[in-house]
Amino acid sequence: MATPHRSHILSNFSAALEALRGDVLMMKDLTERNFANAAKGFFDRDSSRCKVAIADDEEIDLLEMQVDRDGIELLTRFTPVAVDLRQVISAMKIGTNLERVGDQAVSIARRACKLNEEPPLAEVGWLRPMYQRSIEMFRDSFAAYANGDLALARSIRERDIEVDRMNHELTSNLTAEMALYPERARGLVNLIFVVRSLERLGDLSKNIAEDAAFAASAEDIRHPSIRRVEV
Protein backbone atom coordinates (compact mmCIF):
# COMPACT_ATOMS: atom_id res chain seq x y z
CA MET A 1 0.00 0.00 0.00
CA ALA A 2 2.97 2.37 0.53
CA THR A 3 3.74 2.85 -3.15
CA PRO A 4 0.23 3.95 -4.27
CA HIS A 5 0.03 6.32 -1.28
CA ARG A 6 3.40 7.85 -2.25
CA SER A 7 2.23 8.23 -5.85
CA HIS A 8 -0.93 9.96 -4.69
CA ILE A 9 1.08 12.47 -2.64
CA LEU A 10 3.46 13.19 -5.51
CA SER A 11 0.56 13.67 -7.91
CA ASN A 12 -1.08 16.19 -5.57
CA PHE A 13 2.22 18.01 -5.07
CA SER A 14 2.84 18.28 -8.81
CA ALA A 15 -0.62 19.76 -9.38
CA ALA A 16 -0.19 22.21 -6.49
CA LEU A 17 3.25 23.25 -7.71
CA GLU A 18 1.91 23.79 -11.22
CA ALA A 19 -0.86 25.97 -9.81
CA LEU A 20 1.71 27.98 -7.85
CA ARG A 21 3.82 28.53 -10.97
CA GLY A 22 0.66 29.49 -12.84
CA ASP A 23 -0.10 32.20 -10.28
CA VAL A 24 3.46 33.52 -10.60
CA LEU A 25 3.13 33.64 -14.39
CA MET A 26 -0.21 35.46 -14.10
CA MET A 27 1.40 37.89 -11.68
CA LYS A 28 4.17 38.52 -14.19
CA ASP A 29 1.65 39.30 -16.96
CA LEU A 30 -0.21 41.76 -14.74
CA THR A 31 3.02 43.41 -13.63
CA GLU A 32 4.28 43.79 -17.18
CA ARG A 33 0.93 45.27 -18.23
CA ASN A 34 1.09 47.75 -15.36
CA PHE A 35 4.61 48.78 -16.29
CA ALA A 36 3.54 49.24 -19.91
CA ASN A 37 0.67 51.49 -18.80
CA ALA A 38 2.97 53.54 -16.59
CA ALA A 39 5.52 53.89 -19.39
CA LYS A 40 2.84 54.86 -21.90
CA GLY A 41 1.54 57.47 -19.48
CA PHE A 42 5.06 58.80 -18.96
CA PHE A 43 6.36 58.92 -22.53
CA ASP A 44 3.05 59.85 -24.20
CA ARG A 45 1.79 62.19 -21.44
CA ASP A 46 -1.33 60.04 -20.98
CA SER A 47 -2.39 60.44 -17.37
CA SER A 48 -5.36 58.10 -17.85
CA ARG A 49 -2.94 55.21 -18.40
CA CYS A 50 -1.05 56.24 -15.27
CA LYS A 51 -4.23 56.08 -13.22
CA VAL A 52 -4.96 52.58 -14.55
CA ALA A 53 -1.47 51.45 -13.50
CA ILE A 54 -1.97 52.84 -10.01
CA ALA A 55 -5.43 51.29 -9.59
CA ASP A 56 -4.41 47.86 -10.90
CA ASP A 57 -1.50 47.52 -8.47
CA GLU A 58 -3.86 46.10 -5.83
CA GLU A 59 -4.43 43.03 -8.00
CA ILE A 60 -0.69 42.36 -8.02
CA ASP A 61 -0.54 42.72 -4.24
CA LEU A 62 -3.37 40.21 -3.82
CA LEU A 63 -1.63 37.72 -6.08
CA GLU A 64 1.59 38.06 -4.10
CA MET A 65 -0.33 37.16 -0.96
CA GLN A 66 -1.87 34.17 -2.74
CA VAL A 67 1.55 32.95 -3.91
CA ASP A 68 2.89 33.21 -0.36
CA ARG A 69 -0.07 31.32 1.09
CA ASP A 70 0.14 28.55 -1.50
CA GLY A 71 3.90 28.28 -1.14
CA ILE A 72 3.71 27.92 2.64
CA GLU A 73 0.97 25.30 2.28
CA LEU A 74 3.15 23.32 -0.13
CA LEU A 75 6.10 23.47 2.26
CA THR A 76 4.12 22.43 5.34
CA ARG A 77 1.89 19.83 3.67
CA PHE A 78 4.41 18.02 1.48
CA THR A 79 7.83 18.94 2.99
CA PRO A 80 9.48 18.87 -0.46
CA VAL A 81 13.23 18.36 -0.90
CA ALA A 82 15.89 18.96 -3.55
CA VAL A 83 14.52 20.32 -6.85
CA ASP A 84 10.93 20.42 -5.58
CA LEU A 85 11.95 22.54 -2.62
CA ARG A 86 13.90 24.89 -4.91
CA GLN A 87 10.88 25.32 -7.15
CA VAL A 88 8.63 26.37 -4.26
CA ILE A 89 11.16 28.72 -2.69
CA SER A 90 12.01 30.33 -6.04
CA ALA A 91 8.34 30.89 -6.90
CA MET A 92 7.76 32.64 -3.57
CA LYS A 93 10.84 34.83 -3.95
CA ILE A 94 9.93 35.75 -7.52
CA GLY A 95 6.44 36.71 -6.33
CA THR A 96 8.02 39.13 -3.87
CA ASN A 97 10.20 40.65 -6.60
CA LEU A 98 7.21 40.99 -8.94
CA GLU A 99 5.32 42.91 -6.27
CA ARG A 100 8.28 45.26 -6.00
CA VAL A 101 8.34 45.70 -9.78
CA GLY A 102 4.68 46.67 -9.52
CA ASP A 103 5.60 49.26 -6.91
CA GLN A 104 8.10 50.80 -9.34
CA ALA A 105 5.42 50.99 -12.03
CA VAL A 106 3.20 52.88 -9.58
CA SER A 107 6.08 55.21 -8.72
CA ILE A 108 6.64 56.03 -12.40
CA ALA A 109 2.90 56.53 -12.94
CA ARG A 110 2.68 58.99 -10.05
CA ARG A 111 5.70 60.93 -11.26
CA ALA A 112 4.24 61.00 -14.77
CA CYS A 113 0.96 62.44 -13.49
CA LYS A 114 2.91 65.31 -11.94
CA LEU A 115 4.99 65.85 -15.08
CA ASN A 116 1.89 65.82 -17.30
CA GLU A 117 0.53 68.84 -15.42
CA GLU A 118 3.54 70.90 -16.55
CA PRO A 119 4.90 71.88 -20.01
CA PRO A 120 6.61 68.95 -21.81
CA LEU A 121 10.29 68.28 -21.08
CA ALA A 122 12.46 67.26 -24.03
CA GLU A 123 14.64 65.31 -21.59
CA VAL A 124 11.89 62.69 -21.22
CA GLY A 125 13.18 61.15 -24.44
CA TRP A 126 16.58 60.58 -22.86
CA LEU A 127 15.02 57.80 -20.75
CA ARG A 128 13.68 55.66 -23.60
CA PRO A 129 16.86 53.58 -24.13
CA MET A 130 17.08 52.81 -20.41
CA TYR A 131 13.41 51.82 -20.33
CA GLN A 132 13.86 49.49 -23.32
CA ARG A 133 16.94 47.90 -21.78
CA SER A 134 15.29 47.41 -18.40
CA ILE A 135 12.01 45.98 -19.70
CA GLU A 136 13.91 43.57 -21.98
CA MET A 137 15.84 42.36 -18.94
CA PHE A 138 12.57 41.83 -17.09
CA ARG A 139 11.07 39.78 -19.91
CA ASP A 140 14.21 37.70 -20.36
CA SER A 141 14.59 37.04 -16.65
CA PHE A 142 11.10 35.59 -16.64
CA ALA A 143 11.73 33.60 -19.81
CA ALA A 144 14.71 32.10 -17.98
CA TYR A 145 12.42 31.12 -15.10
CA ALA A 146 9.59 29.76 -17.24
CA ASN A 147 11.93 27.72 -19.48
CA GLY A 148 14.62 26.79 -16.95
CA ASP A 149 17.17 28.55 -19.16
CA LEU A 150 20.34 28.81 -17.07
CA ALA A 151 22.39 30.55 -19.78
CA LEU A 152 19.78 33.27 -20.19
CA ALA A 153 19.57 33.73 -16.42
CA ARG A 154 23.35 34.19 -16.23
CA SER A 155 23.29 36.82 -18.99
CA ILE A 156 21.03 39.16 -17.01
CA ARG A 157 23.73 39.99 -14.48
CA GLU A 158 26.03 41.53 -17.09
CA ARG A 159 23.17 43.48 -18.64
CA ASP A 160 22.33 44.98 -15.27
CA ILE A 161 25.78 46.55 -15.19
CA GLU A 162 24.84 48.48 -18.35
CA VAL A 163 21.57 49.66 -16.77
CA ASP A 164 23.52 50.86 -13.72
CA ARG A 165 25.83 52.80 -16.03
CA MET A 166 22.85 54.41 -17.75
CA ASN A 167 21.42 55.34 -14.36
CA HIS A 168 24.60 57.17 -13.35
CA GLU A 169 24.92 58.91 -16.71
CA LEU A 170 21.30 60.07 -16.86
CA THR A 171 21.29 61.24 -13.25
CA SER A 172 24.47 63.22 -13.86
CA ASN A 173 23.10 64.80 -17.06
CA LEU A 174 19.76 65.69 -15.51
CA THR A 175 21.48 67.20 -12.48
CA ALA A 176 23.59 69.32 -14.82
CA GLU A 177 20.41 70.48 -16.58
CA MET A 178 18.99 71.56 -13.22
CA ALA A 179 22.02 73.79 -12.66
CA LEU A 180 21.57 75.38 -16.07
CA TYR A 181 17.78 75.73 -15.90
CA PRO A 182 16.73 76.05 -12.24
CA GLU A 183 13.21 77.06 -13.30
CA ARG A 184 12.73 73.49 -14.57
CA ALA A 185 14.18 71.84 -11.48
CA ARG A 186 10.91 70.33 -10.25
CA GLY A 187 10.26 68.48 -13.50
CA LEU A 188 13.87 67.33 -13.78
CA VAL A 189 13.78 65.98 -10.23
CA ASN A 190 10.74 63.89 -11.21
CA LEU A 191 12.71 62.54 -14.16
CA ILE A 192 15.55 61.54 -11.84
CA PHE A 193 13.07 59.55 -9.73
CA VAL A 194 11.81 57.80 -12.87
CA VAL A 195 15.42 56.93 -13.74
CA ARG A 196 15.81 55.39 -10.28
CA SER A 197 12.69 53.30 -10.79
CA LEU A 198 14.07 51.99 -14.07
CA GLU A 199 17.33 51.14 -12.33
CA ARG A 200 15.32 49.27 -9.69
CA LEU A 201 13.53 47.37 -12.47
CA GLY A 202 16.95 46.20 -13.66
CA ASP A 203 17.92 45.15 -10.14
CA LEU A 204 14.67 43.25 -9.60
CA SER A 205 15.02 41.55 -12.98
CA LYS A 206 18.47 40.42 -11.91
CA ASN A 207 16.96 39.04 -8.70
CA ILE A 208 14.39 37.07 -10.72
CA ALA A 209 17.14 35.70 -12.95
CA GLU A 210 19.07 34.59 -9.88
CA ASP A 211 16.01 32.77 -8.55
CA ALA A 212 15.46 31.21 -11.99
CA ALA A 213 19.02 29.84 -11.97
CA PHE A 214 18.56 28.48 -8.46
CA ALA A 215 15.30 26.76 -9.44
CA ALA A 216 16.86 25.24 -12.55
CA SER A 217 20.16 23.99 -11.18
CA ALA A 218 20.72 25.03 -7.54
CA GLU A 219 23.36 27.43 -8.84
CA ASP A 220 23.79 30.64 -6.88
CA ILE A 221 24.79 33.15 -9.56
CA ARG A 222 24.79 36.05 -7.10
CA HIS A 223 28.41 35.22 -6.24
CA PRO A 224 30.02 33.40 -9.21
CA SER A 225 33.38 33.04 -7.45
CA ILE A 226 31.90 30.95 -4.63
CA ARG A 227 31.77 27.21 -5.18
CA ARG A 228 28.36 25.85 -6.02
CA VAL A 229 26.52 24.02 -3.24
CA GLU A 230 23.82 21.49 -4.14
CA VAL A 231 20.39 21.92 -2.53
* pTM of the predicted structure, to 2 decimals: 0.90
Q: Work out the mean pLDDT of the chain and round it to a whole number.
A: 91
Q: 25 Cβ partners below 8 Å, 6+ apart?
A: 146
Contact 195, 171 (CB under 8 A): yes
pLDDT at 7: 43
In angstroms, the CA 38 to CA 41 distance is 5
pLDDT at 220: 76
Mean pLDDT of 185-202: 98
Q: 16 Cβ partners below 8 Å, 6+ apart?
A: 70, 73, 74, 77, 78
pLDDT at 177: 97
Count the Cβ atoms, other than its own, within 10 Å of residue 145: 26
pLDDT at 9: 47
Q: What is the pLDDT of residues 99-132, one digit of tens each?
A: 999 999 999 999 999 999 999 999 999 999 999 9
Q: What is the pLDDT of residues 129-181, one digit of tens each?
A: 999 999 999 999 999 999 999 999 999 989 999 999 999 999 999 999 999 99
Q: Give yes or no for residue 218 having a pLDDT over 90.
A: no
CATH number of the structural domain 2-217: 1.20.58.220
Count the Cβ atoms, other than its own, within 10 Å of residue 211: 26
pLDDT at 231: 47
Q: What is the pLDDT of residues 46-80, one digit of tens each?
A: 999 999 999 999 999 999 999 999 999 999 999 99
pLDDT at 197: 98
